[in-house]
Structure 1
Amino acid sequence: MADQFLSKTKLTADDLVTSGDRPVLERFQELRALLTDRAGPEVAALFAEPLLSRGNDTAAPSVSWYADAKSEPVPLSRLSPAEQSQVTAYLSDHLRPLRSLAEEPAHADLVWGALSTYGADDVMVVDGRPVIVNWGLLPGGGGANVSARMAHFDATLGRYLQAPVQPQPQPQAAPVASAPTFTPQPVETLMTPAPVRRISRLAWVPLLVLLLISGAVLFWLLQPGTRLFPKQDPVITEQSTLDAQRALNDELRGRAETLQAALDGAVCRADGVLILPNSQTPEGLLPPKQGEAFPQTAEAAPDALLPNTTDRILVEDPANPETPQSLLQMIEARTVLVLAGTANGLTAGSGFVVGPGLVVTNQHVLEGAAPGQLAVAGQAVGNPMQASVVKSAGPLADTGQDFALLEVPGLSAPAFTLLQGAGSLKLNNVIAAGYPGDVLEIDGDFAALQAGEAGAIPGLTVTDGIVNTEQQIGPETNVLMHSAALSSGNSGGPLVDMCGRVVGVNSFVRKGPLQNRGYALAIGDLMAFLAGTAAAPQVVDAPCQPVVRPFTAATSAPAKE
């Protein structure tokens, strides 16, 4: 990872230019390797290293840009005319090799994506050399608009290639047919001139034959009854996700009405205790008689108007039933950080313990992991421990499942209990636990862990929310839509109720016009996946009745005389 921070850019997900169904920014290592091999390290160094944050409910997506440099970055536009001329000449000379790479089908999408920039101060100068930021992006949500890239390039990076190279004298020749270039100028203005060769008309015959054959095959594929893939219903349909969003809107409207009714009917007693129309406090407790103190512990409603904080909720420790522990302690002891070494570097996700030495996560967290490059870490584990895949099912869009079961020899962390009940979980308070990427990217312990310091363990992140709706989005795919904030890295982590039982496996986020909404795969689907494995988690179906240590327990008791 480069160490010199250059700038940070806020964006929308639609601004990301994609290549091979992935944002070009996520293929930075591949781009750098290609340019180093084909054009040299100086050309590869033109493109700043991106650190992409997908954003969450409170923060917009953004990209932080870094470079290997010592001096502070300065936008090219702020240099003197003489300095600008020198840097522009360097940039023009070193961008020129990308033209030939962009004409190769195997690399065209990646190179064109890298040459797509926002357009405002995209060139920074550090250590006297130019570095391009904001690449892999098109403004105004134009990332998916392939046709707009050429015109946008001409107005941005293309202007550095518009200074013509002085052509050498050439013999008179017929015009040369060429592929589209970066600018409307002749090929000779973009590359070092080479002797022009005449192309015989017979040389075009094989290409014409190939085009005719391709056209015939395409015509056959478009005929009724001819398909590239067997006809089948998609695992996850647009209608099902639309129904889920409509259900969410209904839940939010009902939630707003509930909150307004509680606000209108709330009564504040003389002793300062706020009582709602349902005769409970906002945190779901029954209030004591006026003038009396709250008990040291009390049962709370699972759908309380305001969720209780995890350090005040008490759950039974199976290893020590006489000494209850806080919900936060229980979650921390069972949730793990999942690390996968891939060709593009280290990726991180979340997981949780379901049995002795067994961890559940998402299949997509492990995607691309090299053999022997899986490990788990965290407060529940200590130093990273090697892991191996026992079973996996995915990807979600193809199979309706996104699960993986890992075996971690020597892992002694306790297992979660799973909740698979017949009742609805709507409006129940829940906690999402895991290691979101937008937190890890600025976590000093995670940076030290990446650098090889095994004892550097990042802290667990927990967010709270409510279950908005339960939805079937495919023939065998059931999800809980909830409002606990998630981001990349939460994948595979547990969604926990206020009694410490896992009610879902956090798996993906859908971006709405106003906020993101998290989805957790249902426990029933997880249990079907675990069938036939050594995992035998404890499953309960009893409704949650959380035990809470009231906030006023230590402060409202009458003083002793």
Structure 2
Amino acid sequence: MANQFLSKIRVAPDDFVRAADAPVLERHAELQALLSERAGPEVAGLFAEPLISRGNDEAAPTVAWYADATGEAQPLSRLSPAEQDRISAYLSDHLRPLRTLAEDPGQSDLAWGALTTYGAEDVMVADGRPFIVNWGLMPDGRGASAAARPAHFEATLGRFMRQPTAAPKPTVAPAVAAAPLAAAPASVEDPAPRARLSPLAWVPLLVLLLIAAAVLFWLLQPGTRLLPKEPPRITEAGTLDAQNALNASLRERIASLETALDGAVCRADGVLILPGGLTPEGLLPPAEGTAFPEQAEAAPDALLPNKADRVLVPNPDAPDQPDDLVTHLDNRTVLVLAEGPSGVAAGSGFSIGNGHILTNQHVIDLGAETRVVVIGKALPEPLAATVVKVSGPLAETGDDFALLQVEASDLPGFTLFQPPSSLRLSNVIAAGFPGDVLELDLDFAGLMRGDASAVPALTVTDGIVNTEQQLAPDTNVLMHSAPLSTGNSGGPLVDMCGRVVGINSFVRKGPLQNRSYALAMPDVLEFLQGTPAQPVLTEEACAPQVRPQLAQSAPAEE
């Protein structure tokens, strides 16, 4: 898999160009082999490697593009005119062999698939080399239309393969053309001398040139029509929409609580019964005077969240001895310390198995020489971490992810939950190491003094998912009511079955309360594609197992 991210595009299922009953994008390896053999490795290297995310009923497919490069990629249209001309000439020289392949009946389907691009910023440039992205796609659901490909090609990549039209040469008499200038007969009279222009005649032209230069300088400034500034992926409009959605969710929550309170009944043994016949934590109450069972199935969207120390999570090492949720979180959540030129920063992270740790990009972004260490209750000592992959920062890319590797393959990992439906009103737990708590933690103080055995206590907060929001085309978040603060970044947001549903990433401060945001699981899974991480995934709906509180004894009659 190529290592440098170039771009990403959201498409419709019918946009994929098909050949031999399969999308051309799935034949990238075959295309590389064909082009390397018939046109050379430089031509094969022009076509970026696709990473396809098929989406689902609610999310459209996306294709991320990668190449073997190291520098930052940018669209061809954002380069200087001279650089655009150089890249265009390179593409013209190297794409011409594909014309021959497109006329070969045995290879035409694959060649035309490669030459068919979406038509929006299809050429990216990194390290001074062009890479073609969005190939194998046609807009407006025309992927299956072979007849439309030639015309679409002429309007897209075809512009790089047109030969420039040569200017017609003037017709010259052979005798005159062959005669050297010095051989002109001496008898030929010199032409009449030309009239000299007054210096003042050049003034209007000079003024026009100065005006044109000033206009060109203005156009080349970032923010103008010619070179507009790159817009941030996370905009104020997007966050405002998210706040409005959250407010609507909170009003809905208040209404449901008021309705439940109005219809609730308290039995003689102290068990509160809501209008739906369940207890506030979603349990089916036993008959009056009968104790709750030691373990019962609760509702994931119960009116009141179950206490984390009463929620039971299966223990793979001892199936008959389940862990409580707090222990489950303790053994899988880690403190992430990053040391760079600007100092030391603390954040949170969590294990997904085989020594892989997920956190936020901004937690470890302290410069080129940053050292990263992770500390956890289930780790024997602080361990140095290697950065496997990063994507961020959030405002510019829409992502805020980092994947770390530590030498602790036996560290238990969280299961990742791919929700088949909405998580709104589901009870959740946020786990991490908030900075305002670490400031008063004696173990953290000891750790900073060099005591490797001092592990700070994990902080957990509970709440519900208020709403699900799309802040940018490729940025999906869960807004929830579990309190977060600086230091929670990169920690897990888990459901009442102990599965991770998102990565806590930022807090937006309001006049009365803070809003907590977690990046949603579809974006996490897309980031992990192409990495060695192989987390356990599940789509099974949560059915929490809890230890119920004991019912009070009914008062004795006098």
TM-score, length of structure 2 as denominator length: 0.59
For 1:331, give the aligned amino acid: L
Q: Quote how far apart the aligned CAs of 1:305 are.
A: 1.1
Counterpart residue number, 1:335: 333
Q: Distance in 2 between matches of 1:367 and 1:528?
A: 21
Deviation at 1:237, TM superposition (A): 2.2
Counting only pairs closer than 5 Å after superposition, residues 191-340 of structure 1 correspond to structure 2 as 220-221=218-219, 226=224, 230=228, 233-340=231-338
Give, as a single letter, the amino acid of the residue that structure 2 aligns with 1:479.
V
- 1:515 corresponds, among 493, 513, 516, to 513
Q: 1:445 to 1:295 in 2, by over 3 A?
A: same
Alpha-carbon distance change, 461 to 333 in structure 1, aligned in 2, over 3 angstroms: same
Give the structure 2 partner of residue 468 of structure 1.
466
| Cα distance between partner residues in 1 of 2:397 and 2:536 | 26
Q: Is the 8 A contact 2:362 2:393 kept in 1?
A: yes
SS for the counterpart of 2:250 is: helix
* Structure 1 Cα separation of the partners of residues 549 and 216 of structure 2: 70
Larger radius of gyration: 2
- Whole-Å separation in 1 of the counterparts to 2:281 and 2:227: 53
| Equivalent in the alignment of 1:81 | none
Q: For the aligned residues, what is the CA RMSD?
A: 2.5
Corresponding letter in the other structure for 2:318: N
Q: In the superposition, relative to structure 1, how do residues 289 and 527 fare at CA in structure 2: closer, same or farther (>3 Å)? A: same
Deviations, residues 133-186 of structure 1 (Å, cap 9, x unaligned):
xxxxxxxxxxxxxxxxxxxxxxxxxxxxxxxxxxxxxxxxxxxxxxxxxxxxxx
User: What residue in structure 1 maps to residue 542 of structure 2?
Assistant: 544
**Which residue is equivalent to 1:367?**
365
After superposition, give the CA deviation of every residue in 1:169-204 in whole Å (9 maximum; x if it has no partner).
Answer: xxxxxxxxxxxxxxxxxxxxxxxxxxxxxxxxxxxx
Question: 1 CA distance for matches of 2:447 and 2:380?
Answer: 12
1:427 aligns with 425
Give 1:308's aligned amino acid: N
Matching residue of 2:436: 438
**Aligned: 1:527 with 2:525:** yes
CA contact (8 A) 1:293 1:557 kept: no
Distance change (3 Å), C-alpha of 1:479 and 1:250 = same
Mapped to 1, the partners of 2:221 and 2:544 lie a distance apart of 61
Closer/same/farther in 2, CA of residues 413 and 224 from structure 1, 3 Å limit: closer
2:448 to 447, 450, 453: 450
Taking the aligned partners of 2:371 and 2:388, their CA distance within structure 1 comes to 14
Matches of 1:506 and 1:223, distance apart in 2: 38
Separation (CA, whole Å) in 1 of partners of 2:427 and 2:393:
29
Query: Aligned pair in 2 of structure 1 residues 306, 225: CA closer, same or farther (>3 Å)?
Result: closer
Q: What's the CA shift for 1:344?
A: 2.7
What is residue 498 of structure 2 aligned with on the other side? 500
Matched, 1:481 2:479: yes
How far apart are residue 268 of structure 1 and its match?
A: 0.7
Query: Structure 2 stretches of 5 or more lacking a match?
Result: 1-209
CA distance in 2, matches of 1:224, 1:271: 71
> Distance in 2 between the 1:280 and 1:369 partners?
53
- The correspondence of residues 369-448 of structure 1 with structure 2, limited to 5 A, is 371=369, 373-448=371-446
- C-alpha distance after superposition, 1:27-74 (max 9, x if no partner): xxxxxxxxxxxxxxxxxxxxxxxxxxxxxxxxxxxxxxxxxxxxxxxx
Q: Alignment partner of 2:338: what SS?
A: strand
3-state SS in 1 of match to 2:269:
coil
Paired amino acid for 2:401:
F
What does residue 352 of structure 2 align with? 354
* Paired residue total: 346
Identity %: 64
Assess if the C-alpha contact under 8 Å between 1:293 and 1:556 holds in 2: no
Q: Distance in 2 between matches of 1:312 and 1:216?
A: 72
* Cα distance in 2 for residues equivalent to 1:365 and 1:418: 21
Q: Distance in 1 between matches of 2:222 and 2:340?
A: 42
Deviations 1:469-497 (A, max 9, x none): 00111111000000100011000000000
Q: CA deviation at 1:239?
A: 1.9
The answer on whether the counterparts of 1:381 and 1:411 sit within 8 Å (CA) in structure 2 is: no
Tell me the secondary structure at the aligned position of residue 280 of structure 1.
coil
Structure 2 CA distance, aligned partners of 1:357 and 1:433? 19
Shift of 1:371: 3.4
Counterpart CA distance in 2 for 1:217 and 1:506 is 47
TM-superposed deviation, 1:556: 5.9
Give the superposition deviation at 1:322. 1.6
- Aligned amino acid, residue 436 of structure 2: D
Q: What letter matches 1:328 in structure 2?
A: V
- For normalisation by structure 1, the TM-score amounts to 0.59
User: Within 2, Cα distance between the matches of 1:218 and 1:514?
Assistant: 49
Q: Is contact 1:506–1:520 with CA below 8 Å preserved after alignment?
A: yes
